[in-house]
Amino acid sequence: MPLLLSWAVLITGLIWLVDVVVFRPRRRSAVRQSENTADSAGAADDRGREPLIVEYARSFFPVLLLVLVLRSFLGEPYQIPSESMVPTLQVGDFVLVNKYAYGIRLPVFGTKVIDVGEPARGDVMVFIPPHDSRYFIKRVIGLPGDVIRYQNKALYVNGERARYEFIDEFQERLAFSSGFIPIREYLEDLGGGSPHSTYRYAFSEEPREWTVPPDSYFMMGDNRGKSEDSRVWGFAAEKNIVGKAVAIWVHKDPGFNMPTFSRNQWLD
């Protein structure tokens, strides 16, 4: 989308600019010549009429430029496509992404031109992962230089175990089966930002440890058993950060359902 929008702005802007610099003066000159000859008024009008493609370019360029500036430097909507951030974010949530929270970046290229701030542990961040060109949304767990350990469903950051508070336990039906799997919900406190809810599944996982390299971040979904994240594909690069998710502004269940504002809220 950013690439297509950038091309649209470039093409419409160039058409309008070339017309202003080259063709509009020629049309005006042709109109003046017609007025000094025996040509009819209709002929003069035809010579001075702006081509349809230029008219469209002149009309759309300011609108497209405004949208590009807003999406690139201020905010952008993003729809939650999967269950990886449940219970914090539900499938069908539309979140507002603050594009300048972590610095002003050039559209398409992603190069940071103005440093505003850095991701903090606990932030919900939108980024482009190393294995996919689509936007992903996960929680920042590890900062550059951190040592992250995941053992017995608990996170350890630089040797310190995150604090957990049990909230609830429930059953979830297994896909293509009549069986159920128990899920526990905990309030997780990483020591940065507000505590957040996470889901833990009953199946076992081997303990693993990672050291976050420079200019990189360790990302995880809050729905730990249904999140493909840094445990699978590695680290999120600083150059591929899109922005910070700051609010849920509308929700639409999949299928033919009307949008609702029942889940509107700020994200800590």
Q: Determine the Cα–Cα distance for residues 95 and 98; give it in Å rounded to an integer.
A: 10
Give bridge partners of residue 173 from the DSSP assignment.
Answer: 180
Main-chain phi, psi angles of 95, to 5 degrees: -110, 150
Separation between Cα atoms, residue 46 and residue 29, nearest integer Å = 13
Q: Which distant-in-sequence residues (6+ apart) come within 8 Å of 107 by Cβ? A: 2, 5, 6, 68, 71, 72
Q: In the numeric block, which tokens belong to residue 68?
A: 């590009």
Tokens of 161: 């175990």
Contact (Cβ atoms closer than 8 angstroms) between residue 169 and residue 152: no
Helix (H) / strand (E) element for 55: namely helix 52-69
- Three-state DSSP at 208 gives strand
Query: Is residue 82 among the annotated active site residues?
Result: no
Catalytic choice (34, 72, 84, 216) = 84
Residue 141: half-sphere exposure toward Cβ, Cα within 13 Å: 32
Q: Rounded to an integer, what distance in angstroms lies between the CA atom of residue 139 and that of residue 218?
A: 8
- The CA-CA-CA angle for residues 71, 77, 81, to 5°, reads 135
Q: Which residue has the tokens 């999406």?
A: 71
Q: Which residue in the list 138, 153, 216, 230 is annotated as catalytic?
A: 138
Catalytic residue check, 84: yes
CB 171 within 8 A of CB 179: no
Catalytic residues: 84, 138
